[in-house]
Chain A
Amino acid sequence: MRRALYLLPVVLFLGLAAVFLYQLSFGRDPRDIPSVLINRPLPPLDLPGVPGRDDIGLKSEHITGQVSLINIFGSWCVACVAEHPMLLQIRKTGLVPVHGIDWNEKNPEDGSRWLKRNGDPYDRVGLDLGPPKTNAAIDFGVTGAPETFVVDASGNIRYKHTGPITPEVWTDTLAPMIKELQKP
């Protein structure tokens, strides 16, 4: 009886460890706090173009009508460099238009220089230098770059991916979702 008492700590601990193991293997990522914007219409967009690229910019009407991706990036963001080849590849597949929001640059021209150097995967790019002029990133609830939003044909946000799009994220999550949304 007394010996059983001494076993209690290790038994309790192993129970706890089992919960941790379960959570690590099957649990949902606690960081995926679903964005409040999911299944809501896109916030209105009216961003100027990136000087040196074009001056059309990114406006709400550019996005509605077909499934598209909106990618938040910046020339200052190291993870965006890592993500870039994947975006170029997505562009090559022609599956879905990719729009960019060039966010939080020190100089307005930084984004176009960065795109010239690394390749330009975007259809439209809007420049968001932050408040007071533009605040798209705030409207989108962006917490960092890169972040990518999937928008359906009627202009509703359907998914948000935080962090770089890796080949796994693309083939396992984004591509199937986009194909599903593109079905008439």
Chain B
Amino acid sequence: MIVETGHFALILALVVAVAQASVPLYGAQRRSAPLMAVAAPAALAQFALIAMAFGALTYAYVVSDFSVVNVAANSHTDKPLLYKITGVWGNHEGSLLLWITILAGFGMAVSAFGRNLPPSLKARVLAVQAMIAVGFLLFILLTSNPFARLDPAPMNGNGLNPLLQDPGLAFHPPFLYLGYVGFSMAFSFAIAALIEGRVDAAWARWVRPWTLAAWVFLTCGIALGSWWAYYELGWGGWWYWDPVENASFMPWLLGTALLHSAVVVEKRDALKSWTILLAIITFSFSLLGTFLVRSGVLTSVHSFAADPARGMFVLGLLVLCAGGSLTLFAMRAPELKAGGLFAPISREGALLLNNVLMSTATGTVLLGTLFPLFADALELGKISVGAPFFNSVFVPLMVPMVMAMAVAPLLSWKRGDLMAALGRLKLALAATVAAAAASWLIMGGDDRPLWAAAGMALAAWLFFGTLSEWADRIRLFRAPLGDSMRRAFRLPRAAYGMTLAHVGLAIVIAGITGSSAWKVESVQVMRPGDVARVDGYDFQLQSVHPITGPNYTGEGAIFVVSKDGRQVAVLDDAEKRQYSQPPRPTTEAAIHTTWLADLYAVIGEADGKGGYVTRLYHNPLIPWLWIGALTMVLGGLVSLSDRRHRVGAPARKPAAARAMQPAE
């Protein structure tokens, strides 16, 4: 009964979404306040109905109702409750339901927090948001109904892929979807602006917090996914340039570009049509990711059950959504008034450089991801594009960007003075040279790759450059300390957000460099008692013992690690598990972190003669990846908490202008 209620709620949500997509749009055209006012309550109702449907499916999972196909195919009574719940989105149908729940949630948020939006803009934004919802609700109801019944119901379910039975993975899809779907806000605002024919500073001020929120979620989601790949797949790596990873990385790159170009629109009223285009493309790439993952046109280690009929449907949605909006862009964007001019060397110029490089990077990732597809269509045979391609094109694009990143915040708007900016970075430059030399020496001098020192230099340049910009702003050491403190307190949170996010990226770059240049790996067969030496650390396999979990059995190993005869760590949770339902093996890596490096051990197959295959790693600077990503997320959150985002736009309405008066 509850399951049928969920299905029915979803159908009702479709009806509401159709009304929300049409009535307010017509109302905005006719300037009819009552018709425009339909949008906000409709968005609330749509969210309530979809949330009800999501609740119904979750209920079916929690009580293990195997008369529902989706539950029978993906759950099992032995599964811990946590993974019964996360199993709701561990499959195609359920994850789509989560997707649309989040979409409706954002719509509701606009109707709740968007009180100071002009009514026509709000009506149009919510209408566009509802159009996307109509497409996806149809997709769910026509091709991927999560509420379909199974008769006769099996005694037990098929179980969830054990790789997915892990907290890191269980919670990364919701974050990714919050990110992907969050970019639908920027998209809806862009379409609404094209319909209105008006893009101004106020518009950018409204779009930025939504884009920033989506970016924060997506950053979190990608970091979680990468962390999961690191400790669960057991290969000591954290990024594989897999199509599904790329599908989440491309919207991130574009979203980052959008974040920066929206600043230019807000502060300088320039780059308007470019920003609109970016908003459209960013969300289109989120949809493209959905299409690539679910249609089966590409394979990947974590594709959902691919189905060409579904693929056709998503392609149809993608063409309507991206094709339609890009056509609208081609028609309306040329009429947007061009804004302020600027010299190439200026804050705007630097932000534009960021945009060009980020978009080019996205283009190369897209090319690499889709190349196998083109090759197949052109009968060149099955080709796979691996990490070497991505690394060789991606790194050269990112190097100039990061170099410019330290300088850009020091340039002034309209016309900047590059020499003066570089002059203020003398200290940072000295620190960079010192850091590069130190890292080269510490890591053992000339037998280590020289490019690693260059990578560390790049990270240091960004780190110290960003900090000197901050010091410059508060006139640290140049004004009395009290004065500097006062300036530090007065600095807007958005400025701190930028500083933190850029510093976070610097830490990530150091982590990437360290983990790819200095990782030491050793694979061997060990018997209990044997010692293997990895990068100066002695890993002794102490014992292997049987383990039993709620829905798996397996073997656990204990390693004692010592350096120069002194014990430094005990790795006692390396496990090889055999899950019963579905019957699949997984490995659990044992990781000891010092925040500077990880010791990492994995136990593999038994050789039948009392020995086990073991993979041991010393991974320097890997923890910095997670620290850096967290710092970036923190930067986004701090910037999001800036009150200028909450009190709305500078102009357009006198009421909003009054609200801008500072409180102090």
Contact = CB atoms under 8 A, between A and B. Distances in A.
Contacts of A24: 295, 297, 308, 311-312, 315
A76 B581 contact: yes
A3 B334 contact: yes
B329 A6 contact: yes
Interface string B204-220: 00000000000000000
A78 interface: yes
Nearest to A81: B154
Interface string B362-385: 000000001011101100001000
Contact of A78 (B158, B306, B330, B382): B158
Contacts of A94: none
A7 B330 contact: yes
B296 A10 contact: no
Given A24-B308, A78-B72, A10 B327 contact: yes
A116 interface: no
A104 interface: yes
Main secondary structure, interface of A, reads helix
Contacts of A13: 284, 322-323, 326
A19 B581 contact: no
A19 B319 CA distance: 12
Interface string A1-25: 0110011011001101101111110
Contacts of A168: none
A184 interface: no
A6 B330 contact: yes
A145 to B, nearest CB: 9
B608 A132 contact: yes
Contacts of B284: 13
Quick one: which of A7, A27, A78, A81 has the most chain B CB within 10 A? A78
Interface string B382-394: 1000000000000
Chain B CB within 10 Å, residue with most, of A7, A13, A20, A22: A20
A30 B329 contact: no
Contacts of B319: 14, 17
Contacts of A180: none
Interface in B145-159: 154, 157-158
Nearest to B606: A132
B583 interface: yes
A23 B376 contact: yes
A14 B273 CA distance: 20
B590 interface: no
Interface in A70-104: 74, 76-78, 81, 104
A6 B158 contact: no
B281 interface: yes
A28 interface: yes
A76 B606 CA distance: 26
Given A9-B281, A23-B297, A31-B306, A76 B583 contact: yes
Contacts of A3: 330, 334
B190 interface: no
Contacts of B158: 76-78
A78 B318 contact: no
B154 A9 contact: no
B277 A19 contact: no
Nearest to A21: B315
B306 A20 contact: no
A9 B582 contact: no
B498 interface: no
Interface in A37-82: 74, 76-78, 81
B326 A27 contact: no
A83 B382 CA distance: 30
Contact of B334 (A2, A21, A130): A2
A138 to B, nearest CB: 11
Given A6-B273, A21-B315, A27 B376 contact: yes
A19 B373 CA distance: 8
A74 B583 CA distance: 10
A122 B100 CA distance: 45
Nearest to B159: A76
A29 interface: yes
B373 A23 contact: yes
Contact of A20 (B157, B273, B315, B372): B315
A27 B312 CA distance: 13
A14 B323 contact: yes
Contacts of B165: none
A179 interface: no
B5 interface: no
Interface in A143-157: 144
Nearest to A163: B305
A29 B312 CA distance: 14
Contacts of A74: 583
Contacts of A23: 297, 373, 376-377
Nearest to A30: B299
Contact of B377 (A22, A33, A77): A22
Contacts of B280: 9
A169 to B, nearest CB: 14
B499 to A, nearest CB: 34
B560 interface: no
A130 to B, nearest CB: 8
Contacts of A144: 582
B244 interface: no
B291 interface: yes
B580 interface: yes
A24 B319 CA distance: 14
B73 interface: yes
Of B158, B298, B582, B608, most buried by chain A (CB within 10 Å of CB) is: B582
A121 B404 CA distance: 69
Interface string B540-568: 00000000000000000000000000000
B318 A17 contact: yes
B333 interface: yes
A13 B322 CA distance: 8
B550 to A, nearest CB: 15
A9 B277 contact: yes
A31 B608 contact: no
Interface of A: 2-3, 6-7, 9-10, 13-14, 16-17, 19-24, 27-31, 33, 74, 76-78, 81, 104, 106, 130, 132, 144
Given A30-B298, A78-B72, 9 more contacts: A9-B329, A10-B326, A17-B315, A20-B315, A23-B377, A24-B312, A30-B382, A77-B158, A144-B582
30 contacts: A3-B334, A6-B329, A6-B330, A6-B333, A7-B330, A9-B277, A9-B281, A9-B329, A10-B323, A13-B284, A13-B322, A13-B326, A14-B323, A17-B318, A19-B370, A19-B374, A20-B295, A20-B373, A21-B315, A22-B377, A23-B297, A23-B373, A24-B311, A24-B315, A29-B296, A33-B299, A78-B157, A106-B580, A132-B608, A144-B582
